[in-house]
Structure 1
């Protein structure tokens, strides 16, 4: 089955734009390194004040895109507009961009205040202005009283806060974040991503955030741009990306996805687990064998064997489901994930509220039925 890569929602919805920032347009950006194509005609519009996360596997081009925005890399083709101005050939030091790296990159011989004020010093701002701005930003990022501390006297989370304050000190038009939280432990990551989002909303600064962490992208961004092989697969708000992925790649990359065997029916429907479901996206001809993509929470599990393998679908589309056996039950707090095998031999994962899953222990016989939602399908080879 052929899928379409550059799908809808590359441009931000007008209602979601915020004042205070500057818009970005990446138009047909292409970048190669020898025989490797890092970017292959990347198109993306970012609204003023919007936070967009670039998400994708290693080598998909997200860091290259960020470096081109920063001016550290030059595109082979395409254009970069900032606030409507073509800055494709503008040197990095004239783009008014703040950048926070994965490694904190603080000057070890400078205090926190001196690190924050460094960009202003380079711009020859008066000493009093530098000191005032540094104190203001250290307060803003939650580090009052740490102005005279050196980097080695600060924790990793505190050092990253100083790096963020330094990037904001010059009042940049755009803020770029290159996996800034990946070196921190889980608790600090959670605290700092909430802090970054709060600051970004408060300041209204246009922000591009590169991450490989799906949870970070979905929890922080106004929109998430999923990339593959240097191209944009889909750019959409987190809920839309998760609930209505445009391609099988997006569906499987963002969150957990089951692949279950099905057969195409008439009128853009597919028969799976004894149920007829509507199909969105590319749709093979009726009668073709396909794999149906279903989220774990889109599967209903009932104790007892009400369903049978290959059960017939009723005229109204409802079906009795398919018999299955619980292999593993993993308690995850409020949710329990069941690993099941259907009577026809397919493997599936289903997420249930833990209070519903208490009787579904390993070895339990049950019935597996999908909820009636549109699904993506992919034709089997």
Structure 2
């Protein structure tokens, strides 16, 4: 397949008083997998439905290979869609579900069956063609839904939270399978999810939406390490907020002087934003910090540490260090020597010292 170039240009969509999309501008390159990430109600599914033809924007355009398809009916758009609920026909077996679109387009029966078998081989389920949806697991049903979506060789594949109804282990396996198929077919894919781990592990780029606005679009590494806005910093991963003082182009935090990533703010009192994996914790009998909670996660352990000033921070340490960093252990806390993100403090001059929220999943 040859993936299409997709562009959302100045897209606006309202539902009564609710603004679902507010001037969305986003381009997806041919063969790219881009994830639309954000909390419920941020507009990501509305954007997908506008591309599919199930919604029409109030303003703006949807273009596919520079052709305006904003008002083109859904059945005339070269796109395949996979829904969260699978949406397989319960009265049709797997082979007929996959070949349904071909039957509508009056493809000869022999070719339909041949193509369905090709796709069953492609998704790793060659022997289930005669089964019915109720005889399949959730993961198998979603693979069949994926095969049905690509049966007509669309140039754009749309995935609307297709893994959210599956258990954790199946989700990991299936997202790897989706990525493998997408790369092998070269199909342009737009993947809607609220799960940051899915977005970061699968996508070439991630577009973070909030209240209908595009906050940032970047590759996963840049999004994680260089969030463009405080919202992105909070939503993607876990972020500590530590009190710091700006001195020139550096910031003093936890007794260290670190370079500032980006322009230094005018405020002297700031929040220093650091990820848990950049927080270093060392057992020390006269240390000024105390381990409050230790959560073992296999290869890593997450510590909740109370600092000398009462601020609490999260730190990720190797799993084999969990025993020597048990709750009640006095420790010294420092940061990896690297540029850090800073944000102005509150209007009162104080910085927020609340414990960071856990990962969004």
Q: Secondary structure at the match of 1:75?
A: coil
2: CA distance, partners of 1:115 / 1:354: 46
- Equivalent residue number for residue 26 of structure 2: 44
**Residue 95 (structure 1) aligned with residue 60 (structure 2):** no
Contact 1:39-1:229 at 8 Å conserved across structures = yes
TM-score of the superposed pair, with normalisation by structure 2: 0.93
Q: Deviations over 1:342-363 (max 9, x none)?
A: 0011000101112334322211
Structure 1 position 280 matched with structure 2 position 247: no
Match of 1:337 in 2: 302
Matched, 1:59 2:20: no
Counterpart selection for 2:281 from 265, 284, 301: 301
Distance 1:89 1:201, change over 3 A: same
Q: What RMSD in Å do the two structures reach over aligned CA positions?
A: 1.4
Which residue of structure 1 aligns with residue 353 of structure 2? none
**Aligned partner of residue 323 in structure 2, secondary structure:** coil
Check the 8 A contact 1:20/1:49 in 2, yes or no.
yes
| Deviations 1:323-343, CA, capped at 9 Å, x for gaps | 211111111111111110000
The residue that corresponds to 1:160 in the other structure is 142
2: distance between equivalents of 1:131 and 1:77? 42
- The answer to whether the 8 A contact 1:248-1:376 is kept is no
Q: Which residue of 2 aligns with 1:237?
A: 219
Cα shift at 1:127? 1.2
Cα-to-partner distance string for 1:203-235 (whole Å, 9 max, x where unaligned)? 000000001111111111111111111111111
Q: Distance in 1 between matches of 2:73 and 2:2?
A: 23
Structure 1 equivalent of residue 200 of structure 2: 218
Aligned to 2:332: 367
Gaps of at least 5 residues in structure 2 are 347-361
Q: In the TM superposition, what are the counterparts of 1:176-215 in structure 2 within 5 Å?
A: 176-215=158-197
Deviations 1:41-75, CA, capped at 9 Å, x for gaps: 11111110000010001111000000001010011
Question: Residues 79-119 of structure 1, C-alpha deviation per residue, up to 9 Å, x if partnerless?
Answer: 11111211112111111110000001011110101100111
Residue among 271, 274, 283 paired with 2:252: 271
1:248 aligns with 2:230: yes
Which residue is 1:8 aligned to? none
* Alignment correspondent of 1:82: 64
Please tell me whether the aligned partners of residues 267 and 345 of structure 2 are also in contact (alpha carbons under 8 angstroms): no
Q: Give TM-score, length-normalised by structure 1.
A: 0.88
What displacement does 1:264 show? 2.0
